[in-house]
Amino acid sequence: AQSVTQLGSHVSVSEGALVLLRCNYSSSVPPYLFWYVQYPNQGLQLLLKYTSAATLVKGINGFEAEFKKSETSFHLTKPSAHMSDAAEYFCAVLNLSGGYQKVTFGTGTKLQVIP
């Protein structure tokens, strides 16, 4: 089954600095990959998704992620952090098992933005 690993449970950046959240996947077949964001006391919201159409995926709020097969990575980036970006971010992979979809989530990375 496919899985994802998020490196770093906490990341701190200064406001205006580059945001880089790391995600590596393990999959024997081309995966469907996602990034979700969770603001405090809220559910998860889809940021972006990779479906093999393009390796560079642009999402909401200025985030983007690049699928790199050679590195089995799908890192999330944003050129300039805003205070409103402080949240927890989850990488996820879609598992296709017996024709049914299951989503496997990483353990999450909490992003702190320092003024």
Partner 1 sequence: NAGVTQTPKFQVLKTGQSMTLQCAQDMNHEYMSWYRQDPGMGLRLIHYSVGAGITDQGEVPNGYNVSRSTTEDFPLRLLSAAPSQTSVYFCASSYSMPTSGNTIYFGEGSWLTVV
Residues of this chain that interact with partner 1 (CB under 8 A) are 9, 32, 34, 36, 41-46, 49-53, 90, 94, 96, 99-108
Q: Between residues 20 and 103, which has the closer beta carbon with respect to partner 1?
A: 103
Q: Between residues 18 and 96, which has the closer beta carbon with respect to partner 1?
A: 96
Strands (E) in 1-115, as ranges, are 3-7, 10-14, 19-26, 32-38, 44-50, 56-58, 64-68, 73-78, 87-97, 100-105, 109-114
- Closest contact distance (angstroms) between CB of 75 and partner 1 is 17
- Closest contact distance (angstroms) between CB of 46 and partner 1 is 6
For residue 88, count other CB atoms closer than 10 A to its CB. 17
Q: How far is CA 44 from CA 1, 11, 23, 53, in A?
A: 23, 19, 17, 24
Q: Between residues 62 and 108, which has the closer beta carbon with respect to partner 1?
A: 108
What the block records as the tokens of 48 is 């972006």
- Closest contact distance (angstroms) between CB of 61 and partner 1 is 16
- Closest contact distance (angstroms) between CB of 94 and partner 1 is 7
